[in-house]
Amino acid sequence: MLEVKGITKKFGELQALNNVSFEVGKGECLGIIGPNGAGKTTLFSIISGFLKPDKGDVRFRGTSVVGKKPSCLAKMGLVRTFQLIKVFKNMSVGENLLVANSNNLDFEKEILKLVDLWDKRDTIANNLSQGELRRLSIGMALATNPKVLLLDEPFSGLSVKEAERLSEIIKQLESDGITQIIIEHKLKELFGITDRVLVLNFGEVIFKGYAEDAIKDKKVIEAYFGKKYVTG
């Protein structure tokens, strides 16, 4: 479904990403973790067309999509959400969904029910809780009918209860066959929804595989805690 090959990106002298490659199959859910500044959001920006890589390729359903605009990619079914939630604060929940895709009116109810906001459809976004805002931003992404959904730290700022609700929604999307890539610092929440992770550190992939192996991996432990915590 999505193939990322040798993605490299520099900001001036800073090597934000170096030769990053991975694949995600249809309906799979991949977690991306790594310390602050590892390049996770930059990777999402490149995959979703907000930034161009210096080198490398992104293939979506077999076609190279590097250089295509975010709006074009969204039409093709490749959509991201943002680390800092972007919604129209002075509009209602329903209006926000309309802005996201006015051609998808038939699905408004279905989507708002899925993200648990149907009862709040007339509420101005400004009056929503952090969890509701997050679910609205996911609803807006869903309004474009994505095949691949990129979620950037969806659990940040959520209460335990809101996080549980979001986990249920993400699992539902998984069983609906939507391919998801999720950047997340909250490992407990992430490992509850996916068992496959990619670990980035200083722009490089240092681990690919099962979450349970990642937390035992020397390079991963060193990246998070420093060398002195690596034993054995």
Ligand X SMILES: Nc1ncnc2c1ncn2[C@@H]1O[C@H](COP(=O)(O)OP(=O)(O)OP(=O)(O)O)[C@@H](O)[C@H]1O
Q: Which residues bind ligand X (CB under 6 A)?
A: 11, 14, 16, 34, 36-42, 83
Q: Would you say 143 or 198 has its CB closer to ligand X?
A: 198
Instruction: Answer with the entry of Mg ion, ligand X, none that 42 interacts with (C-beta below 5 to 8 A by kind).
Output: ligand X
- The nearest distance, CB 12 to ligand X, in angstroms, is 7
Q: Are 209 and 32 in contact (CB under 8 A)?
A: no
- The nearest distance, CB 183 to ligand X, in angstroms, is 7
Instruction: Answer with the entry of ligand X, Mg ion, none that 157 interacts with (C-beta below 5 to 8 A by kind).
Output: none
- The nearest distance, CB 179 to ligand X, in angstroms, is 20
Q: Would you say 37 or 94 has its CB closer to ligand X?
A: 37
Q: Would you say 18 or 144 has its CB closer to ligand X?
A: 18
Q: How many CA atoms lie within 13 A of 17 on its CB side?
A: 26
β-bridge pairing 29-33 and 14-24: unpaired
What is the DSSP code string of 175-200? HTT-EEEEE-S-HHHHHHH-SEEEEE
Chain CA centroid to CA 103, Å: 24
Q: Which two tokens stand for residue 203?
A: 């722009």
